[in-house]
Structure 1
Amino acid sequence: MGEHAGTDVVGAGFTRFSEEHAQGQLLPRIVDVALARADEFVVADPGTRLTGAGLLQRAALVREAVLAHHRADDRDPQEVPVAVLRGHDAGAVAAVVGVVASGHPVVVLDPTTPAVRLRHYVDAAGATLVVSDAERRATAAEVAGTVVDPDSHVGAGDLSDHLAAASALLTRTAAPDDVAVIVYTSGSTGKPKGVACDHRSILHDTWVNSEATGAYPAGSVVAHLLPMAFSAGTTPTLAGLLAGSRLELFDPRRRSVTELPAFLREVGADVLLASPAILRGVVTTLGPQGRLTGLGTVTMAGETVHGAELSAVRRAVGPDCVLRNRYGSTETWLMTEYAISGDDEAPEGATPVGWAVPGARLQVELEDGTLADTGTGRVVLTSRWLGGRYWKNPEKTAEVFADNPDGSRTFRTSDVGTLGPDGCLRLLGRSDHSVKIRGLLVEPGEIDALLFAQPDVREALVVGRPNPRTGRTGLVAYVVPEGSRPQASAVRAVVRENLPSHMVPEHVVFLDALPRTERGKLDRSQLPEPPRSSAPYEVPRSSWEEVVHEQFCAVLELEGISIFDDFFELGGDSLAAEALVSRIESLGADGVNTTGGTSIVAAAPTVASFAVAVRSQTRSARPTLVPLRTEGEGRPLFLVAGAGGAALALRTLAQRLVPGFPVLGLQANGLENRALPDWSVERMARRHVATVREQQPQGPYRLAGHSLGGLIALEMAHQLRRAGQEVELLAVLDSFPPNPALVPVPQYPGLQAKAKEALSLALTGIKAHPGLGHYVRFFRQGNFLQRRYTTDVYPGRTLVVVAADDVDASARRQWEPHLSGSFDIVPVPGEHMSILRDPRVDAVAEQLSREMTGERLEVRSPSEELAGH
């Protein structure tokens, strides 16, 4: 990143970003940089890569669509925001630029938030138009009266010329204090609160990020993981375009963090922007010896980072990478930074948030209301670049913003901190009752308002409490029932249906009354501590424990519980115990005995103990066969699991299929029994064919498989046909075709790592491996075999289902050269694994059900889909 130091000119067409740029407006600078990089990639996601010219064209189409909708509106565009509802993708970046160019403030909506919640944002902003895409069109229609999808008009009109597009984007001149972006946060009364951010403050924040701190100057390749709907994601999105960085978008809410190291290498990222929670996941995935190479900067913000965590990240990135712990807010953008590099030691305990960035002054408000440059109190920031205000809420603005005689502004945060003599700030908590959950600000009053509205709740109070086991803050709901006590899981379910997942309480405590002072005010100090587990945190160690863990989480309406957590301490009761036993019994898994009912839960209340208690010692004669659904008299569907996958992982799909026939799962030999694995797709298929013919001696057969299982099912179909049997259906669920050139090859940092991997692979099924490592070995072995399998063109009826949002979707669509019979290649929403889980699994089940009943859906090409809109 230091290659540009000492010069004001970057490349051949734009100057380095300076503090003087903050006196202007966003669009001229964005257009200048994009024109200078017309043939270079400026923003990319796994499916789309936009050059500077492409960004200008896409943004101009969005601008044209927005203006066309508002052409008859004589109001000032500044008074009429426009919403954007898309994924974490290049199209969303272009949409933001296009809306800003129209003169309307942009409100970016988070696609993972329930529609009822998004409608609050749109209504509060006064927006009537949402810019969206085909995947989110239905949700967008619930949110606003008008939806436009500029993607369906890419290349239309004279805007296909990027110079004409640039000219169109610059048609309207904005003032530095015009509102460019409105970012919504929670409101303590249950109503959303919007922060209006002007051009000047955004431009100055860009200078602070790109040049003043050196985090991502021109020429950087920025791996951007932060949701654009939040201020932490808005900042790098706009700053990258303004400063001349390349944005590489990775959505950790749709892709596993296990994919991140390979993604960083693939795109050549030298800057990583992520939350501490994501970094913890990456470090865990890498293990103590794993490394993230090539990074020059890692920034983190949004929650407390402890010294031990910082040290673990440093080990992973190496001494040449600068780690930046940051603190900011939607009202102020970036306020402070604490950077360590080289031989700097990580601090003990909570890491400070550091020193004020250039252009900002930090103080603390003491108990007597005076401001001090050192001490402990409410954190206060003063800057001449501070432009934020609350949208259409001057009273709220006046409570926390103040204009000073010298032209600067002051903002009183809700955070309490200690400001040392050297100017370094340490945060202690919040002055109000807001809390940070997974790095996101939560106003518990909004959850209170939702629970109060429930007929079986008389009173409710939600607070944040640190978990002594993990140190993380979690939400606890104290509920006074109206009449009979509801289940804790039902309380959580109400929140989950109406609010984002990070706002779902971890604990629900039922009280006869909320504690109050003698004056009748709530006395938070008297709230009892929720029941806590003293057990260590542990993830499932086997496929069966994973299945049981999934049922515990579903019944309790919780995520991420330890296999040693007590069912009843987590809020379970007798009704929830009955539901758990019923769910386990309905699995129909081989060797499971639920005789004893809820008494089993009482005696074995953890995932680990319950998994053992309900599993008999009886061994199946066919450990590779797993009944997923036993009801029905029709011909069964045989469903083959993917590499390293237990067949029970396909149960949700099996249960969603049209009734009338059994569904039998097939999994790898040795995966859940003591046996050597098969070392070719052909041998796997041969074993499964023998099992299939034991269950159904004669055809016609129905075969399906997910991932590697699709190739195994294909080979089974070939073998059955060669044996003179009829195969009625082959369904391939998001599998690579039998063309090794299309299958990604794993990358290794060196020969030693490659040799180590080869040895581990050779020991698959032979040498015991603790925890999930056993399944990981089978997964890698399956991928190894997949890259070596080819076969003849298949002449039978075939359904190919492709996860349209997966990074490998393009390769997985290329089945046509391998099929000579009747076939359909059908895209469904979701990614490789998410299409097997709610809510994405329903689309797969619908396609497969229609094949099984002979009522095939009419499949249209993507161009026909767009024309239909």
Structure 2
Amino acid sequence: MKYANGIDYGIGDLSLDKTIVDVGSLEHIAAPDARVHSFPIFLILSKAPPSMQDRIGKVFRESLKQGTYASALPRGIYSLLRAPDMTSSDRHDPIPGIANSTRMPIYLPASQRIAASQMSAFTATLQARAGLPLSDYTRLHEFSVREYRSFWRGFLKWCTDIETSGEVEPVCVGEDIERAKFFPRLELSYADSLLGLTIAGADAPALTECHVDAPTVRLTRGELRERVASLACTLERLGLRSGDRVAMVMRNDAQAVICTLAVAALGATVASAAPEMGADALLDRFVPLAPRLLFAHTATRATDRGTPLAENIAGLASAMPSLEGIISLDDGPLPDSVTLPVHSLGALIAQSAPADFVWRRFPFNHPLFIMFSSGTTGKPKCIVHGAGGTLLEHLKEHRLHTDLRPGEKLYFQTSCAWMMWNWQLSALASGVEIVTYDGPLATVDTLWRIAADNGVNVFGTSPAYLKMCEQANLEPARQFDLSALRAMLSTGAVLFDSQYDWVREHVGALPLQSISGGTDIIGCFVLGNPNLPVYAGEAQCKSLGLDVQAWDDGRPAVGIGQLVCTNPFPSRPVGFFGDTDGTRFHASYFAANPGAWTHGDLIEFSPQGSARMHGRSDGVLNVGGVNVGPAEIYRILNDIPGIRDAMVVDRNAAGSLSRAGRDGANSTLTAGSRERGIVLLLVLQAGVELSAALLSRVRGDLVRRASPAHVPGLVLAVEALPTTHSGKPSEAAARDAINGVPARNAGALRNPECLDAIRRQAARNLEKGSLPLPGKTREQMETYLRALWERMFGFGPISSDDNFFDLGGDSLLAAEMASHIHDATGQTISLTNLMTAPTVAQIAAILEAGPASAPSSAMVLMRAGNGTPLFLAHSVTGSVMECRGLIGALRNGRPVYGLNAHGLEGEKAPQQHVIDMARDYVAQIRQLQPHGPYALAGYSFGGLIALEIAQQLHRAGERVEMLCLVDTYVSERYLPWDAWMRYEGRYVIEQWRAFRGMLSAQRTRYVSAKLAAAVDRARLRLGRTAHRLEPDAVGLPPVLLRVRQAMQVAMATYRPKRYRAGPILYVRASTRIEGRGNPLPLWQRVACRGLNVIDVAGGHSDMVYRPNADVVAAALDAALSGNRAVIES
């Protein structure tokens, strides 16, 4: 269902049997092809009167029957309790955005699907056995972690097709997560469980093998079981026994599956890798294991690159004296240097009859797989996983969380080097047919073609592939028959909000489930759920049986924290291979937070239990004492056209530059603002260059949507970013390259050659020696300024006539430049100076002439023209610099003057009262234009200044022809009484809901933060600055920070009075700032002679940027030309 803002909310699968939907300001819902729709706000409520539920449910069921949009909803029937939409940034409260914002799920499962899911069936069984009400997933999960023994016992019993022997009790020995052991008296066979014929018969499809240049091969369960049994029988005759280890270098095909299951059937342990891995990476993984046999594809293919595969296999074999033989999976020839026996897989299978093999069971914790960490920070860790824990965890994730059933088809984009290959393999135990593909991405639509051609039901991929498809303008639902596809999974990196929208729009109304866990647990901590809604950017739920929490400093966090698990779980590794005393195992997972598993990721939970991943905790960047998560930056960059991929890393002090001081001595100059150490690496789409416009967009969006601390000091365009063999980005390798040191383990990378290119690019930008001296002449000044700008912007050459703003300059870079100039010359160049003299030549002229030549007025000519001027007041930034795009979009020929705040030049103290500001601005305005009519406007806080200027001019007897407030808010305490009560009521309800969903430790920190917030609000009302910074003020230079804090005080203390000079034009964003009260009731009261309201689709920060700025400019043009054809409120 599409609306005017272009968002598809995906409510075609909505059922209201147990929920109520509150729709505020809903005009209508029409057919998808309608051109104009209103913008609704949906809120799922947990409680509502039954009669109201029935009434609204009936309307929605009729309107959304079978996912269609057949009828319009009556207007005005949804006037239930309006919920609060508070966030921390505007109330100074420490509640994370996902906990407080009014959120619309992008997908809601139908009641029929919920009722028929295996999650519902298991819950009913467990509820009956436990005698406890498990009416929703929250209660089910709480039971599964509180009574985890009962949960795992019940789940194993529920899986009636899994054959075991021995005793189920005890379920778990020990309470210590580091040492607890599950089912110590139970035995099972992993291979037999995957190939059992109870859940699906011998004729059921088991495996489809796809190739880039060969026919598709299909195997039934019976055929696969027979081949596994035959190979296992022959391997046993070759001497392979339980407890042995084998190494495998395999392509993702049927042979890989057969070999793995045959080895597992004998109780031997499998360690696998992919053919594209380099020789060093293979050696690092396999040599410590002393494997008995090596299984490998040995034939080279046209799509292979680098050293021929046969040579790598030969080198690997020669380095492992423990080897007794090599099994070739494809009969490719090996070099003559190989002296070990080489067996053909086909011949080994043919040597034995499947009936000759005796299937045996092994202890629950018997070693099954040895997985490897990425190895980018040192030698890979060899992580040993037990058969029972792996099987039980995968059964739970496949059957309950993914709702996979016998006969369904699963395809996951993976290789044998990644745990998702093992994860997909285990789906055989649920009667699922798995699809494999051993080729490259020949075209961007390769994977969609596989899914369509094979009728895949569940398709797993990565955010990188989804972004590739989006950038290629792919339309999978239109180009392919995806009628069988019912769900998508994504892992390997953070999945961004916009990617959920893309899938909804271009793939269909299906759940896109973000899953996250890792090789360490061979499973997921957070993942999907067939019974729950999907929120964009979030995993649906915590995994059953795992008490996953977000911790900060050893206790539950409010908001983002380290991902920890606090209870024992079966898929915890048995340990590290070779770590006999467990010291390395302990240091890796349990030392940081004693008594809990620490995973190394950052996570944030909503009150509903959904989770947002924020990247690796060891990737957090520290900018001036402020922690910046790379995922926050990537989320914003993902929305900028032209950027294919991005990576942000920090650099050490060795990367600093030197600059010339006034005395000629060198001092430190970093390439980043205020000695920032952040370097942003961008991979751009074909044909896109790192232009001034793109740099400006990157910096502007990061400041606007995050904070100044998120803005990188240096931006570099590179051809590729380092990735591991499992496709995950390696910030550690890029950091080493940026800092000019050798990569700690280049062999762990799929593309180590990109490091040299990154190293060279960084060196060119970071090691250019000292800046020239400013000198005394204009030519010397220009030479110095050009060099300074080239350092700051990260590209060149820059000419003397280049415009600072056209190159991508903003207030942050302006403040940085002013600091450098002051250090070098002793002179001050303010933001006001820069706006009137934005070129190198103009600034050099000011510096040559001396301080007296620099204009000191707060009023700046932003655009020349004819007629009476338009005066534009600054926002909380203190500058009208951010409104340059809006001014440029104006078509009216009048001149435009900007009013900048005192204090931007760094010498005067900023004013803290709107009335004082307006008084000074009025004096300057009347010097330029002694008498009216006056035209005034202000964006955001600037609207309050413009209003007060108009009030003072009116009292002086002057006429005001136009007053425009562009999305201007007021302190909520000045709202009319009824509006204030509604606002506070929503706020209290929302905070209570958030409080109820917290753990006791979180509540303590929450209350402490609330008290601190209350102190700050009191200080603001008394005219003092707050102790804590607003999120968007973090990282600001001192000059800009002082101005921002002064504006914050001014806004908190200004009460708008009735305005009688004329009508007010109020241009507002359709999406209100989260946590702010609706100012419309106040403006309706203030505007005694009429309030003209124009709504602009978008948010507050978008109003002065295109395309929204064009709409705002058109409204201003109409008002300035005397056209009153605007909407009366």
TM range (shorter): 0.3 to 0.5
Scaled by the length of structure 2, the TM-score of the pair is 0.37
Q: Which has the higher contact order (CA 8 A, sep 6+)?
A: 2
Scaled by the length of structure 1, the TM-score of the pair is 0.47
